[in-house]
């Protein structure tokens, strides 16, 4: 069996495992299309399809596949949407979002560590993703120049929801965000007439660092 076939088999096993955890069909199809081994450091590629986080350098991690799947599921991403991701990291989660919003959509992802801006940009490019813009900066401020967003996906844990996210979200839009320092919970925020905040599950994320972070 060639290397690509071996990765494909591992990807199928990962997706089958996620299916058993109750992840929706569309998210699973998207994850079947994204080559996760292209988003991890080369020395980790044999572990790319295990359901756990992996180090990507600079003390940061690529989130476990089930966490990426759950966050995408909660956001109910649709084709053509404009999405903001905070914490580009490896670019993997961005690629899954891209698969769900399609060529009609656009993803803006912001990363505070310059080396990871370059790592994620390179990974997304070689995996063939074009409708994604990676920027360097403090993502606690959002990316106001491209607002408003249909959805916001925050991949690091914040003390509370940064006010710019609420301002930059469309009415009817959703944010998924981990909150807390030592004990963290994942929240789904919905902007309707007011702001609805629903607690989902316990999580472990690296901290959001910046003006409205830690
Ligand atoms: N989504 C990433 C992936 O698929 O690999 C995983 C992201 S990792 C769990 C969280 C990322 O958030 C780290 O790369 C970290 O540098 C970044 N981060 C932390 N604070 C940030 C901020 N204020 N603005 C932008 N990125 C931030």
The enclosing domain of 100 has a CATH number of 3.40.50.150
State the pLDDT confidence band at 146, using cuts at 50, 70 and 90: very high
Indicate whether 212 belongs to any domain: no
184-191 and 169-179 beta bridge pairing: antiparallel
Indicate whether 213 belongs to any domain: no
The per-residue pLDDT for 204 is 96
Other CB atoms closer than 10 Å to residue 91's CB: what's the count? Answer: 30
Residue 99 vs residues 71, 177, 179, 183, 206: alpha-carbon distances, Å: 14, 20, 26, 31, 25
Indicate whether 130 belongs to any domain: yes
The per-residue pLDDT for 166 is 98
Q: Where do the DSSP E strands lie in 1-81? A: 54-57, 60-62
By percentage, how much of the chain surpasses pLDDT 90?
99
Domain of residue 101, residue span: 3-203
User: What is the rounded average pLDDT of the residues 70-86?
Assistant: 98
CA-closest candidate to residue 103, choices 137, 131, 75, 143: 131
The per-residue pLDDT for 1 is 81
Distance 68 CA to ligand 1 centre (A): 13
User: What is the rounded average pLDDT of the residues 132-149?
Assistant: 98
Query: How much is the mean pLDDT over the chain?
Result: 97
Indicate whether 20 belongs to any domain: yes
Cα gap 166→7, rounded to integer Å: 39
User: Is 120 part of the annotated catalytic residue set?
Assistant: no
**Total domains present in the chain:** 1
Element (H, E) at 30: helix 25-33
Indicate whether 211 belongs to any domain: no
Indicate whether 146 belongs to any domain: yes
0.95 exceeded by the pTM? yes
Q: pLDDT at residue 104 above 90?
A: yes
Distance 156 CA to ligand 1 centre (A): 6
Q: 97 near 83, Cβ under 8 Å?
A: yes
pLDDT in tens, 107-132: 999 999 999 999 999 999 999 999 99
210 ligand 1 Cβ < 6 A = yes
Distance 5 CA to ligand 1 centre (A): 31
Indicate whether 151 belongs to any domain: yes
pLDDT in tens, 9-33: 999 999 999 999 999 999 999 999 9
Indicate whether 210 belongs to any domain: no
Q: pLDDT at residue 78 above 90?
A: yes
């Amino acid at each position: 069996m060639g290397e690509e076939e071996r990765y494909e088999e591992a990807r199928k096993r990962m997706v089958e495992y996620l299916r058993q955890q109750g992840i929706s069909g569309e998210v699973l199809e998207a994850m079947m299309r994204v080559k996760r081994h292209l988003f991890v450091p080369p020395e980790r590629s044999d572990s790319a399809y295990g359901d756990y986080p992996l180090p990507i350098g600079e003390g940061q991690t690529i989130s476990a596949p089930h966490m990426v799947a759950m966050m995408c599921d909660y956001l109910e991403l649709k084709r053509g949407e404009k999405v903001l991701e905070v914490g580009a990291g490896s670019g993997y989660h961005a690629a899954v979002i891209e698969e769900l919003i399609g060529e009609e959509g656009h993803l803006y992802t912001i990363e505070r560590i310059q080396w990871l801006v370059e790592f994620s940009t390179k990974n997304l490019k070689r995996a063939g993703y074009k409708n994604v813009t990676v920027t360097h900066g403090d993502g606690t401020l959002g990316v106001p120049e491209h607002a408003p967003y249909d959805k916001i996906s925050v991949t690091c844990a914040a003390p509370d929801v940064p006010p710019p996210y609420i301002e930059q979200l469309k009415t009817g839009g959703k944010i998924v965000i981990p909150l807390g320092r030592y004990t963290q919970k994942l929240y789904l925020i919905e902007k309707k007439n007011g702001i609805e905040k629903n607690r989902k599950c316990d999580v472990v994320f690296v901290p959001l660092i910046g003006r409205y972070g830690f």
